[in-house]
Amino acid sequence: MLNAWAGDTAGYATGLRLHNRLEIATGLGFKFTMRRIPQACLALTVIAGSSLSVSPSAAQQGASTAVDGLRLPGLTNYAPASLDRSLALGESGEVTLAAHLTDGGEEIPGGLVWRVFRTETGPDEKLPLVATARGGTGVFELAPGSYLVHAAYGRAGVTKRITVGKGSLREDLVLDAGGLQLNATLSGGVRIPPGQLRFSIYEAGGEDSVGDGALIIPDVEPGSIVRLNAGTYHVVSNYGAVNAVIRSDIRVEAGKLTEATVEHRAADLTLKLVRERGGEAIADTAWSILTDTGEIVYETVGAYASMVLAEGGYTIVAKNRDRIYQRDFSVVPGRNQDVELMPTDLLDANNQFPD
């Protein structure tokens, strides 16, 4: 299993929009490459972004709000930022912090969150947060001493220890990060409605691992770009809410945008119980959908039962007024259709619909 990185976790920044674009300065010079992964078509490209001005440090103002609820892997819990004494003129050092996606790459022009911590815990056994800033390259006025600097870029992050003196200091942090853009289609390249499609990103497990690794980001919208540290991730794609699920291991390259498209073999179905072919659906019908092994995958009550099912054979059971109707049915990938249960599907042929 991959080690967790010092980035923002899924619990941080509830208002963060997962569709933020990956910002990479012009001139990275990566070549277009492509490789295939199981059940997924993976294309690697590079995004070129124009240079932007960066905002200076907002060392104390609003610091406690900006970091509320954050967990930083590899760091002890921290305390909200505060100044226990004012910095006398000449007693502080100017520190310039810059971040790069790759070693030797251009500075990231924006979208960063900087946090500076003291290295020793306070009385509450937390690392005091000294300063925080958002934007690109940041400039901080810090008292001489040792600090832990954390740079977050989406879900990618890196931490570095620095020592500040009375003079000027510049520190460059390499995130070793890239972007991941996910999408899915049906057989034949048919696009899936975005409202029916969601992705979850997990840490990739080892060869002997069972099940998914630690959840990194849930409910990722198709087409949005997620910033991640370079590495392999386990991605789960859900089409609908029943059993149309595709799992893939995807490699994120530093300084590149990895585009992955998976193919779902499933169909969107609508079930109804009718007295005659093409007739009105009968209300208050209890529905159960079973696989060919007898496992119940979906249950609901209503005149209609709409769902997305993976390719395969199923048994549809409908119950209305103590009468049970049953029909075997096969789902063909990409063939969305209505399925009707009729009086001929009644298990007791002598007990038809009431008058």
Query: Has residue 252 been placed in a domain?
Result: yes
- Its domain, for residue 298, covers 266-345
- Give the total number of structural domains in the chain: 2
Which of 264, 295, 310 lies at the terminal end of a domain, its last residue?
264
Same domain, 276 and 129: no
Residue by residue, DSSP assigns 22-56 as P--BTT--PPPEEEEETTEEEEEE---B-------
In a shared domain, residues 193 and 280 = no
Residues 271 and 253 in one domain: no
CA distance 140 to 316: 65
Across 89-176, where does the E strand assignment appear?
A: 93-100, 112-118, 127-135, 138-142, 145-153, 156-164, 169-174
CA atoms in the 13 A half-sphere facing the CB of 206: 5
Question: pLDDT (tens digit, 9 = 90+) per residue, 296-351?
Answer: 999 999 999 999 999 999 999 999 999 999 999 999 999 999 999 999 999 875 55
Considering the domain architecture, whether residues 191 and 317 belong to the same structural domain is answered as no
Same domain, 217 and 102: yes
CATH code where residue 339 lies? 2.60.40.1120
Q: What is the DSSP letter of 204?
A: P
Per the DSSP assignment, residues forming a β-bridge with 132 are 115
Q: What's the pTM?
A: 0.71
- CA neighbor of 230 nearest in space, from 74, 41, 101: 101
Binning pLDDT at 50, 70 and 90, where does residue 91 land?
confident
> Tens of pLDDT along 250-301?
999 999 999 999 999 999 999 999 999 999 999 999 999 999 999 999 999 9
